[in-house]
Chains A and B, each alone.
Chain A
Amino acid sequence: MHNPYKPYPVRVDKILVETEDKNLRTFKFVFLNPEDEQAFAYTPGQFAELSVPGVGEIPIGIASSPTEKGFVLFTVNKVGAVTTFMHNMKEGDIMGIRGPLGNSYPMKDLEGKNLVIIAGGFAVTTLRSTITWMLDPAHRDKYGRITFIYGARTPGMLLYREEWSAWQKRDDIDAIITVDREFPGWDGRVGFVPTVTEQVAPSPDNTAALVCGPPIMIKFTQPVLEKLGFSEDQIIMSLENRMKCGIGICGRCNVGPEYVCKDGPVFTLAQLNRMPKEY
Chain B
Amino acid sequence: MAKYLKKSDLAGFIGSLAGQYQVLGPVEKDGRVVFAPAGAADLKLDFQNSHTSPKDLFFPQSERMFQFTLDPNKEGAFVLQDVDLAPAPRLVFGMRPCDAAAFFVLDRVFKNDQFTDPYWQVKRDATVIIGLGCNQPCPTCFCPSVGYGPFHEDGLDAIATDLGDGFLIKPLTEKGQKALAGAKGLTDPEGKMDEKAAAIAAAAQESIKSEVPTRNIYTRTVMELFNAPHWDRVFESCLNCGTCTYVCPTCHCFDIQDEVTSAKDGDRVRNWDTCMSWLFTIHGTGHNPRPGKKERVRQRFMHKFKYIPMKRGGLIGCVGCGRCVNLCPVNIDVRDVVRDMNA
Q: Which residues of B contact A7 (CB under 8 A)?
A: 80
Q: Produce 1/0 per residue, B40-64, CB < 8 A to A.
A: 0000000000000000000000000
Complex: chain B residue closest to A4, CB-CB: B115
The smallest C-beta distance from A50 to any residue of chain B, in angstroms, reads: 13
The smallest C-beta distance from A269 to any residue of chain B, in angstroms, reads: 15
Q: Which residues of B contact A1 (CB under 8 A)?
A: 85, 116, 118, 121-122
Complex: chain B residue closest to A83, CB-CB: B284
Q: Which of A76-107 contact B (CB under 8 A)?
A: 79-80, 83, 93-96
**A3 pairs with B112, CB closer than 8 A:** no
The smallest C-beta distance from A7 to any residue of chain B, in angstroms, reads: 6
Q: B109 in the interface, Cβ–Cβ < 8 Å? A: yes
Q: In the complex, what distance in Å separates the CA atom of A83 from the CA atom of B283?
A: 13
Q: A200 in the interface, Cβ–Cβ < 8 Å? A: no
**A250 pairs with B254, CB closer than 8 A:** yes
**A54 pairs with B252, CB closer than 8 A:** no
Please choose the segment from A37-45, A109-117, A186-194, A271-279 that sits at the chain B interface, where 4 or more of its residues have CB less than 8 A away. Answer: A271-279
A contact residues, total (Cβ < 8 Å): 46
**A276 pairs with B222, CB closer than 8 A:** yes
**A256 pairs with B284, CB closer than 8 A:** no
Q: In the complex, what distance in Å separates the CA atom of A278 from the CA atom of B295?
A: 9
Q: Which residues of A contact B122 (CB under 8 A)?
A: 1
Q: A270 in the interface, Cβ–Cβ < 8 Å? A: no
The smallest C-beta distance from A209 to any residue of chain B, in angstroms, reads: 23
Q: Which residues of A contact B287 (CB under 8 A)?
A: 215
Q: A229 in the interface, Cβ–Cβ < 8 Å? A: no
Known: A242-B282, A276-B222. A250 touches B255 (CB 8 A): yes
Q: A183 in the interface, Cβ–Cβ < 8 Å? A: no
Q: Which residues of A contact B117 (CB under 8 A)?
A: 4, 245, 247, 249
**B115 pairs with A247, CB closer than 8 A:** yes
Q: B179 in the interface, Cβ–Cβ < 8 Å? A: no
Q: Which residues of A contact B68 (CB under 8 A)?
A: 53-54
Q: In the complex, what distance in Å separates the CA atom of A279 from the CA atom of B295?
A: 12
Question: Is the interface on chain B under 10, 10 to 19, 20 to 34, or 35 or more residues?
Answer: 35 or more
Q: In the complex, what distance in Å separates the CA atom of A51 from the CA atom of B258?
A: 10
Q: Which residues of B contact A276 (CB under 8 A)?
A: 222-223, 226
Q: In the complex, what distance in Å separates the CA atom of A13 from the CA atom of B118?
A: 32
Complex: chain A residue closest to B76, CB-CB: A9
Please choose the segment from B26-34, B302-310, B320-328 that sits at the chain A interface, where 4 or more of its residues have CB less than 8 A away. Answer: B302-310
Complex: chain B residue closest to A214, CB-CB: B285
Q: Which residues of B contact A256 (CB under 8 A)?
A: 222, 226, 302, 307
Q: Produce 1/0 per residue, A8-52, CB < 8 A to B.
A: 010000000000000000000000100000000000000000011
Q: Which of A153-176 contact B (CB under 8 A)?
A: none
Q: In the complex, what distance in Å separates the CA atom of A1 from the CA atom of B84?
A: 12
Q: A140 in the interface, Cβ–Cβ < 8 Å? A: no
Complex: chain B residue closest to A254, CB-CB: B307
Q: In the complex, what distance in Å separates the CA atom of A93 from the CA atom of B78?
A: 9
Q: Tell me if A's interface is mostly helix, strand, loop or mixed.
A: loop
Known: A53-B266, A83-B284, A242-B280. A251 touches B116 (CB 8 A): no
**B118 pairs with A2, CB closer than 8 A:** yes
Q: Which residues of A contact B303 (CB under 8 A)?
A: 251, 254
Q: In the complex, what distance in Å separates the CA atom of A7 from the CA atom of B258?
A: 14
Q: Produce 1/0 per residue, A231-264, CB < 8 A to B.
A: 0000000001110110111111011110000100
Q: A70 in the interface, Cβ–Cβ < 8 Å? A: no
**A248 pairs with B114, CB closer than 8 A:** yes
Q: Which residues of A contact B280 (CB under 8 A)?
A: 242, 252
Q: In the complex, what distance in Å separates the CA atom of A250 from the CA atom of B253?
A: 5
**B79 pairs with A53, CB closer than 8 A:** yes
Q: Which residues of A contact B222 (CB under 8 A)?
A: 256-257, 274-276
Q: Which residues of B contact A54 (CB under 8 A)?
A: 68, 70, 258, 260, 266
Q: In the complex, what distance in Å separates the CA atom of A32 from the CA atom of B303?
A: 40
The smallest C-beta distance from A99 to any residue of chain B, in angstroms, reads: 12
Q: In the complex, what distance in Å separates the CA atom of A249 from the CA atom of B282?
A: 18
Q: In the complex, what distance in Å separates the CA atom of A247 from the CA atom of B307?
A: 17
The smallest C-beta distance from A278 to any residue of chain B, in angstroms, reads: 4
Q: In the complex, what distance in Å separates the CA atom of A54 from the CA atom of B116?
A: 25
Q: In the complex, what distance in Å separates the CA atom of A253 from the CA atom of B302?
A: 14
**A252 pairs with B78, CB closer than 8 A:** no
- 14 new A-B pairs (CB below 8 Å) besides A53-B266, A244-B254, A249-B110? A4-B118, A5-B118, A6-B80, A32-B79, A53-B68, A53-B268, A54-B68, A54-B258, A79-B284, A242-B281, A247-B112, A251-B252, A251-B254, A254-B303
Q: Which 9 A-B pairs have the closest CB atoms?
A: A251-B253, A79-B284, A94-B78, A53-B68, A257-B307, A247-B115, A278-B289, A9-B79, A1-B118
A–B pairs, 6, beta carbons within 8 Å: A94-B79, A247-B112, A249-B109, A250-B256, A256-B302, A257-B311
Residues of A near any B CB (own CB < 8 A)? 1-7, 9, 32, 51-57, 79-80, 83, 93-96, 215, 240-242, 244-245, 247-252, 254-257, 262, 274-279
Residues of B near any A CB (own CB < 8 A)? 65-66, 68, 70, 77-80, 82, 85, 109-110, 112, 114-118, 121-122, 221-223, 226, 252-258, 260, 266, 268, 273, 275, 280-285, 287, 289-290, 295, 299, 302-303, 306-307, 310-311
